[in-house]
Amino acid sequence: MFTILEKRLLAENIYLMKVEAPRVAHAALPGQFVIVRADAVGERIPLTIADFDAAEGSVTIVIQTLGVSTRKICALEAGEQLADFAGPLGRPSEFVHEPVEELRRRRYIFIGGGVGTAPVYPQVKWLKEHGVEVDVIIGAKNKDMLIYTAEMERVASHLYITTDDGSCGSKGLVTAKLEELIAAGNHYDECVAIGPMIMMKFVALTTKKYNLKTTVSLNALMVDGTGMCGACRVTVAGKTRFTCVEGPEFDAHEVDFDEAMRRQGMYRTEEQRATAIRKEREEGHKCRIGLDK
């Protein structure tokens, strides 16, 4: 069992949880994820690590309530326990293995969309700690849905905020901001984008035009997360790859995003059915064909 040390509401339906997991915290590197299971009947779901502290033995995750499992996890409070918290899984970001002098000559632009902003943070933080200059664009629906702005402010050289409705930062999409920055004469050697699949797809299309090397972190469906089930397979450069052991980060210009998005929806109907059954169990059965009239 893994104790929740801290829980905070970051935005509507988005929670931060700091979890006591000394082994994971000790081994974690930017870019990796964990598999979390709320309780004995829970699903194993992959969540990208948002921060880790080896000294404290803690790992932070940020979760948006989307289905049964994420809702269940988010219903737990500080002091309560998660049944399982396994990791760190996946390969760390490529840059952690590169010589620091090399990295320092490079200029990075990171793009975080919605809840995907959280896993951008440990990467930018790591680079900042190693003296690498990083610009960051954060995108959200509106001012209230922005997360991690204060944390990012501390580690980014420049932080740019975009919202769909213009309630904070500039109005528009992250891709527009990126093009604006490039047009203004900013030169970037590498882009890292984490967010909804559709955002990553459009970032990839945009950066392709500028021949800007781009990495994305894919949140594919998984069961075990350790290279056993193959649920997470994606097509990269025409080849089938396993996100859990070969990813989660891949070259954005090689990823088949349309297939990846379609595969994410594979169990949607099944999940909706499960949610409906559960809701019914909680609220009592409401007849949908009028037999109670």
Partner 1 sequence: MANKIPRVPVREQDPAIRATNFEEVCYGYNLEEAQLEASRCLDCKHPRCVDACPVGLQIPRFIAALHEGNVKEAAAIIARDSSLPSICGRVCPQESQCEGSCILGIKGEPVAIGKIERFIGDWKLEHSDEVAAEVAPRNGRRVAVVGSGPSGLACASDLAKWGYEVTVFEALHKLGGVLVYGIPEFRLPKERIVAREISEVEKLGVKFEKDVIVGRTVTIDSLLDEEGFDAVFIGSGAGLPRFMGIEGENLNGVVSANEFLTRANLMHAYDAEYDTPIYVGKRVVVVGGGNVAMDAVRTAKRLGAESTIVYRRSEKELPARVEEVHHAKEEGIAFKMLTNPVAVLGNEQGWVTGIRCVEMELGEPDESGRRSPVVKEGSEFELDCDVVIMALGTSPNPLIASTTEGLETSRRGCITATEEGATSRAGVFAGGDAVTGAATVILAMGAGRKAAKAIDQYLKQKE
User: The tokens 């200029």 sit on which residue?
Assistant: 107
**Which span (41-49, 127-135, 169-177, 191-199) binds partner 1, by CB under 8 A?**
41-49
Distance of alpha carbon 52 from alpha carbon 292, whole angstroms: 53
Q: Does position 89 bind partner 1 by CB under 8 A?
A: yes
43 contributes a contact to partner 1 by CB under 8 A? yes
Please select the residue that binds partner 1; options are 14, 24, 147, 203, rule is CB under 8 A: 24
Q: Are 87 and 23 in contact (CB under 8 A)?
A: no
Please give the Cα distance from 147 to 167 (Å, whole number). 14
Residue whose CB is less far from partner 1, 74 or 155: 74
x/- contact string, 97-136, with partner 1 (CB under 8 A)? ----------------------------------------
By the rule CB under 8 A, 53 interacts with partner 1: no
How far, in Å, CA of 119 to CA of 129, rounded?
16
- Residue 274 touches partner 1, criterion: CB under 8 A: yes
The minimum distance between CB 88 and partner 1, in angstroms, equals 6
Of residues 216-255, which lie at the interface with partner 1 (CB under 8 A)?
223-224, 226-231, 233, 235, 240, 242, 245
Q: Looking only at Cα atoms, what is the longest distance across the chain? A: 74
* Burial class of 216 by CB neighbour count within 10 A (0 to 12, 13 to 18, 19+): buried
Report the nearest approach of partner 1 to the CB of residue 137 (Å).
30
With b meaning 16 or more CB within 10 Å and e meaning fewer, what string describes 175-206? bebbeebbeeeeebebbbbbbbbebbbbbbeb
Which is closer to partner 1, CB of 76 or CB of 83? 83
Residues ≥6 apart with Cβ < 8 Å to 231: 220, 221, 222, 223
The site for partner 1 (CB under 8 A) is made up of 23-24, 27, 37, 41-44, 68-69, 72, 83-89, 223-224, 226-231, 233, 235, 240, 242, 245, 259, 262-263, 265-267, 270-271, 273-274, 277
